[in-house]
């Protein structure tokens, strides 16, 4: 996995490695072994179950293929490390019961793509997910701190990242590749232990548990049906009626074609071509040759398929046309209100020494403003924004709602050198 740089606070983390060096880290009893045989995999599964937890990472190639090409899976327990050769093993299913067991923590760092690949292989999400990048965000290290940076700050361990863009599907794997792969997991369990201790010291374990639970939501990893792919085509919202029916057919055709050819969908035809053909359908190969963005070679390879999809979409009866995205007329947010609430979020984040981005995005704040300024909107009430739910609601959401309603005012207190919120005093001396 590649590091992503992020700024981090320098105070109050409670788990900085300046207090303890790396001498207290568990000694690994064995060098990482390359597992290529099903019997070795079965033995490793037994070791993991006995250990009760594992650290995990994957290395894959996904530049041109329809699905990621998994090269290796790295695993570490408290005493062992192993590298699974996914090409030699072919069947990783003996590992799946462990990954489905919520009682066995699976520790990753920035594991979104790893979880996506594993959910694709297993047909369901990984359970017991623990992401050290998420935990770090609650301890002031920034929203997406890279593993290398975090290891240096917490464990005073420096790892090399010189094999990030190597081809993990070429064999044999070189010694430097195996060494790099080992480094990505061998420190994850000690790192998690240190971060977890700081998290519990600050009373934030329940906050993180809420965030991590979202990584196990089946809906997050559920494959998108071909017939729904049109919703991911850039600019689809500008179309309507029969145009959307044509786009739906074109996008589904592109997905099937890409899957059959094992290429990324945009290597077949681009989004711009799909929306152009949906808005201005053509009926012949000659007309296709005049469409900007379609090369002569693409017309030769895909022309008949494109025309068939266009015909399918145009023949779709109106009752089966996709619904246009609802255009909801809402009151525009009062000038400056979003900025004011963003400042309040920043204050709360600085006070708690956590990444403000994990508390609320601009979209989250806008959703809260819509809730307050459009109280009769059924669509808004049907799905309360994240800022009024869970730990966010308790930390700052209730205060943001009060500010948006004019019940609280925020100001800078020069004597205390901090931003404070105070009840608004109405006419007649009544505080609201």
312 within a domain of the structure (yes/no): yes
408 within a domain of the structure (yes/no): yes
3-state secondary structure of 311: helix
Kindly report the CATH number assigned to the domain that includes residue 175: 3.30.420.10
- CA–CA gap between residue 155 and residue 157 (Å, rounded): 5
- Of residues 25 and 188, the one with the higher pLDDT is 188
Model confidence at 62, pLDDT cuts 50, 70, 90, reads confident
Residues with Cβ < 8 Å from 165, sequence gap 6 or more?
none
Per-residue pLDDT at 113: 93
Kindly report the CATH number assigned to the domain that includes residue 263: 1.10.150.80
pLDDT in tens, 127-166: 999 999 999 999 999 888 999 999 999 999 998 776 667 8
- Same domain, yes or no: 204 and 164: yes
Residues with Cβ < 8 Å from 282, sequence gap 6 or more?
288, 290, 291, 307, 310
Q: Tell which of 262, 293, 320 closes a domain.
A: 320
* Angle, helices 188-201/205-213, rounded to nearest 10 degrees: 130
274 within a domain of the structure (yes/no): yes
Residue 87 has pLDDT above 70, yes or no: yes
2 within a domain of the structure (yes/no): no
- Same domain, yes or no: 272 and 206: no
9 within a domain of the structure (yes/no): no
- Same domain, yes or no: 380 and 346: yes
Per-residue pLDDT at 94: 97
Per-residue pLDDT at 415: 82
Give 421's strand partners: 410
Least confident range of 41-55, 81-95, 170-184, 317-331: 317-331
| For the chain, percent of residues with pLDDT exceeding 70 | 87
247 within a domain of the structure (yes/no): yes
Model confidence at 26, pLDDT cuts 50, 70, 90, reads very low
Q: Give the max Cα distance, the chain.
A: 81
Tally of domains in the chain: 3
Please provide the average confidence, as pLDDT, over all residues in the chain. Answer: 88
Residue 23 has pLDDT above 70, yes or no: no
- Same domain, yes or no: 70 and 116: yes
Report the candidate in 177, 140, 195, 200 with the shortest Cα–Cα distance to residue 358.
140
Q: Which helix (H) or strand (E) holds 107?
A: strand 106-108
Q: Which domain holds residue 42?
A: 22-221
Q: What does the block give as tokens for 393?
A: 């609601």
1 within a domain of the structure (yes/no): no
Q: What does the block give as tokens for 195?
A: 């971060």
Model confidence at 380, pLDDT cuts 50, 70, 90, reads low
Per-residue pLDDT at 379: 62
pTM of the model: 0.82
Q: What does the block give as tokens for 348?
A: 């709360």
- Of residues 30 and 336, the one with the higher pLDDT is 336
Mean pLDDT for the stretch of residues 238-254: 96
Residue 347 has pLDDT above 70, yes or no: yes
Pairing of strands 69-76, 81-85: antiparallel
Per-residue pLDDT at 21: 38
Mean pLDDT for the stretch of residues 292-298: 94
Residue 98 has pLDDT above 90, yes or no: yes
- CA–CA gap between residue 43 and residue 40 (Å, rounded): 5
- CA–CA gap between residue 128 and residue 133 (Å, rounded): 15
> Distances from the Cα of 257 to the Cαs of 37, 221, 263, 326, in angstroms?
35, 22, 9, 30
Q: Tell which of 221, 240, 259 closes a domain.
A: 221
246 within a domain of the structure (yes/no): yes
Q: Tell which of 287, 320, 353 closes a domain.
A: 320
- Same domain, yes or no: 68 and 206: yes
- Same domain, yes or no: 75 and 92: yes
- Same domain, yes or no: 82 and 105: yes
């Amino acid at each position: 996995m590649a590091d992503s740089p992020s700024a981090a606070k320098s105070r109050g983390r409670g788990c900085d490695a300046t207090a303890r060096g790396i001498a207290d880290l568990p000694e690994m009893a064995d060098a990482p072994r390359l597992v290529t045989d099903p019997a070795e995999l079965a033995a490793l599964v037994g070791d993991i179950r006995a250990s009760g937890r594992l650290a995990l990472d994957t290395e894959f190639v996904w530049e041109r293929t329809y699905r990621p090409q998994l090269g290796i899976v790295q695993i570490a327990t408290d005493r062992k490390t192993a590298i699974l050769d996914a090409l030699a093993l072919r069947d990783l299913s003996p590992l799946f019961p462990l990954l489905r067991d919520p009682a066995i923590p699976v520790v990753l760092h920035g594991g979104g793509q790893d979880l996506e690949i594993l959910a694709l292989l297993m047909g369901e999400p990984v359970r017991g997910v623990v992401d050290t990048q998420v935990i770090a965000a609650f301890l002031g290290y920034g929203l997406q701190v890279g593993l290398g940076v975090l290891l240096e700050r917490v464990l005073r361990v420096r790892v090399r990242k010189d094999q990030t863009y190597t081809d993990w599907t070429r064999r044999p794997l070189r010694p430097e590749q195996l060494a790099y792969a080992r480094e990505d997991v061998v420190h994850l369990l000690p790192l998690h232990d240190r971060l977890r201790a700081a998290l519990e010291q600050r009373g934030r374990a329940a906050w993180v548990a809420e965030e991590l639970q979202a990584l196990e939501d089946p809906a997050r990893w559920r494959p998108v049906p071909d017939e729904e792919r049109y919703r991911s085509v850039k600019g689809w919202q500008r179309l309507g009626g029969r145009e959307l029916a044509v786009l739906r057919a074109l996008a589904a055709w592109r997905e099937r074609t890409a899957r059959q050819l094992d290429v990324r969908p945009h290597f077949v035809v681009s989004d711009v071509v799909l929306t152009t053909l949906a808005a201005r359908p053509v009926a012949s190969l000659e007309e296709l040759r005049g469409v900007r963005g379609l090369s002569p070679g693409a017309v030769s390879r895909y022309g008949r398929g494109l025309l068939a999809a266009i015909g399918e979409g145009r023949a779709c009866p109106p009752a089966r046309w996709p619904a246009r995205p609802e255009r909801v007329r809402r009151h525009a947010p009062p000038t400056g209100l979003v900025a004011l609430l963003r400042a309040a979020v920043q204050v709360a984040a600085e006070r708690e020494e956590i990444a403000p981005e994990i508390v609320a995005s601009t979209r989250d704040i806008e959703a809260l403003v819509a809730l307050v300024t459009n109280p009769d909107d059924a669509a808004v009430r049907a799905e309360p924004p994240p800022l009024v739910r869970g730990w966010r609601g308790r930390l700052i959401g209730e205060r943001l709602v009060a500010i948006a309603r004019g019940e609280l005012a925020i100001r800078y207190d020069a004597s205390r050198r901090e931003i404070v919120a105070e009840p608004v005093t109405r006419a007649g001396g009544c505080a609201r």
